[in-house]
Amino acid sequence: MIRKQRLLAGLIAAAGIALAASARAGESARDFPSRPLRIVVPFTPGSGSDNSARYYGEALARELGQPVVVENKPGANGVIGIQAVNSAPADGYTILLASNSPISVNPIVTKNLPYDPLTDLRPISGLSRNMNVFLVPLDSPLKSVGDLAAAAKRQDRALNIGTYSAGYQLAAAWFGTLAGIRFNNIPYKGQAQIMTDILGKQLDLALVDTGGALPLLRQGKLRALAVSGEQRHPELPDVPTVRESGYADFVQYSWVSFYVRAQTPDDIVARLASTMQAILKRPESAAYLAKAGSSLMPYDPDAMRRFQEAETARFRKVAQATGIRAE
């Protein structure tokens, strides 16, 4: 008798779970969202990506009328965070805040990558792009990228450079190739620890997101050698670009965008995408990005996919030029 009761209870529980799953699967854009959402960030707190996730998460919460929780899942160049998203239901409630590294660089530099950005993930919206910056400790003898190249050639050791994703590592190797020098890349899970270590003079230099470095640069605690944009950074008008410093081919931006699992229903994707387009068109979004020194990248899902593919092709050319192969 007891055994039959347990069996019956198990069947009822299983039926309840199945009904709940069925209800979730049948949720339409008109009902979405009916519970909290989460944004998974594959980097540590304090990075430009993390800051973007928190800003846009708050904006989404206001628009959608549901809480939006940001979860940091750093590690393995973004792989851990993306696997967390791919393990969640494809219902639009789990959003990936992706950057160029896990989306367009990892497929080029990583063998046996456990995800495919083109088939496993679906773009929701482009968000913003930001130039990178070469940083050194404030009392470093290096005052420019010219000094950096000359010092690297004089010394009998490779300079230690801190980066926190495959995109920055590839960009550093690209500059090294153009300058005829080599770096010893020190990989980090996020930008915050790089800032700590370069302040403590544990690194010769770093290549990081400009937005995340601006607070310390404004306080005069670090020195910027050059920025990687087409033009100077509006918050750092006295810092030259790498192009101005004699390396005309070097232009590099980091970008962030929202993705969901590829199997997410079309109407849910459309609801999220239209909501993000409305948010990005608001003056406060432009003001937020201007303060961070970033620029809008308000791509809809189709435009974001085309941009992603173009960036992957660009990074593939960079990898070929630097001799970097998938490992």
- Which DSSP symbol is given to 158? P
- Phi, psi torsion values for 226, nearest 5 degrees: -170, 155
Q: DSSP labels for 274-289?
A: HHHHHHHTSHHHHHHH
- Confidence band of 197 (pLDDT split at 50, 70, 90): very high
pLDDT at 30: 80
CA angle 174, 178, 179 (to 5 degrees): 115
Q: How far apart are CA 39 and CA 212, in angstroms?
A: 19
Q: Which of 12-26, 38-52, 187-201 tops mean pLDDT?
A: 187-201
Mean pLDDT of the chain: 89
Render 16-71 in DSSP notation, one character per residue: HHHHHHHHHHT--TTT--SS-EEEEESS-TTSHHHHHHHHHHHHHHHHHTS-EEEE
- CA-nearest of 131, 115, 121 to 167 is 131
Contact between residue 221 and residue 78 where contact means Cβ atoms under 8 Å apart: no
Residue 34 has pLDDT above 90, yes or no: yes
Enter the DSSP assignment of 241. Answer: B
Q: What is the mean pLDDT of residues 253-270?
A: 96
Kindly report whether the global pTM for this prediction surpasses the value 0.85.
no
- According to the model, what pLDDT value does residue 81 have? 96
Q: Residues 258, 98: contact at Cβ < 8 Å?
A: yes
* pLDDT (mean) for 222-251: 94
CA distance 212 to 287: 17
Start-end of H helices in the chain = 2-25, 48-64, 79-87, 100, 106-109, 145-154, 166-179, 191-199, 210-218, 266-280, 283-292, 301-322
pLDDT-derived band at 27, boundaries 50, 70, 90? low
**Lowest-confidence segment of 16-25, 248-257, 273-282, 310-319 by average pLDDT:** 16-25
Give residue 124's pLDDT. Answer: 98
More confidently predicted of 3 and 41: 41
pLDDT > 70? residue 17: no
pLDDT for the residue 185: 94
